[in-house]
Amino acid sequence: MFVTRLISGIVLIIIALLALGLGGPVLAAALLAISLIAYRELTRVLQVADKEKGLNVMEGIGMAGVVIYYAAVYFSGAEVLQMMSIVGVFMALMFVYVAVFPKFKAEQCIGAFFSFMYAPVMLSFVYLTRMCPQGIYMVWMILISSWGCDTCAYVVGKLIGKKKIFPVLSPKKSLEGCIGGVLGAALIGGLYGHLFVEAAFPNQTVKWIIAFICAVGAVMSQMGDLAASAIKRNHNIKDYGKLIPGHGGIMDRFDSMIVTAPMIYFLTILMIQF
């Protein structure tokens, strides 16, 4: 299992490095594919549709909405079109819910929209971060804050973790591990800022700002991981899927990045402006 997980992790890192480095259509296409799979995983867990059957109309609207939303993000970049696509998905779901009542329950309609917002919309901030000014440097903070935090938290927790802070939700997580994840992400972020960002912008001292952003992102990363775990426990499942050997589904591997990406984007915009 460890070898399988390690190999899968290495492959994921290589793919992430290529997509984030190239940006543009490659990154947009990769995020679209990931978002569609994540949406499907979430709707199945939330019982928007029967797991044994194909897409129903609720899921179909959501998946079409994901494509339309990413088209608005990639081709126009206009925030009004992005908002229109989000509201459009909500209105379409509500229309179907009312038109065929009582075929669908309110929980299914809510689950379909929640799944659309949770993974696809939140993940789009990876692309938005990459394509903003100096985004080629800022986007790596998402990986540092999510996967970097996960690694540091795991190592520290294994070495000195004792105090369990989420015994019911996540029995293996310790206070020491959580703190280690945040501090580790801050340290990696500071080193990254010093070695790469400040080298590209020699007149600016940003390593402390980047360290702070990565620390905040790491806190959000752990919240995202716990939130995804809570959903799994509510529905008595171990993994969201089996797509990634040793890791589970897309949601199992990208749960922390989903929440981290918007936070890094907004803090990056503030950093650039001020």
User: Using H for helix, E for strand and C for coil, what is the string for the chain?
Assistant: CHHHHHHHHHHHHHHHHHHHHHCHHHHHHHHHHHHHHHHHHHHHHCCCCCCCCCCCHHHHHHHHHHHHHHHHHHHHCCHHHHHHHHHHHHHHHHHHHHHCCCCCCHHHHHHHHHHHHHHHHHHHHHHHHHHCCCHHHHCHHHHHHHHHHHHHHHHHHHHHCCCECCCCCCCCCEHHHHHHHHHHHHHHHHHHHHHHHHHHCCCCCCHHHHHHHHHHHHHHHHHHHHHHHHHHHHCCCCCCCCCECCCECHHHHHHHHHHHHHHHHHHHHHHHHC
Mean pLDDT to the nearest integer, 126-155: 91
Q: In which band, very low, low, confident or very high, does the pLDDT at 6 lie, cut at 50, 70 and 90?
A: low
Tens-digit pLDDT profile for residues 103-118: 999 999 999 999 999 9
Mean pLDDT to the nearest integer, 240-255: 83
Mean pLDDT to the nearest integer, 13-20: 88
Q: In which band, very low, low, confident or very high, does the pLDDT at 226 lie, cut at 50, 70 and 90?
A: very high
**The pLDDT value given to residue 107:** 95
Mean pLDDT to the nearest integer, 54-74: 94
Q: In which band, very low, low, confident or very high, does the pLDDT at 92 lie, cut at 50, 70 and 90?
A: very high
Averaged confidence pLDDT in the chain: 90
**The pLDDT value given to residue 55:** 85
**The pLDDT value given to residue 3:** 66
Cross-strand pairs, 248: 244
**Spans of all domains in the chain:** 23-131, 134-274
pLDDT at 4 over 90: no
The better pLDDT of the pair 189, 76 is held by 189
Mean pLDDT to the nearest integer, 130-145: 91
Q: In which band, very low, low, confident or very high, does the pLDDT at 199 lie, cut at 50, 70 and 90?
A: confident
pTM of structure: 0.93
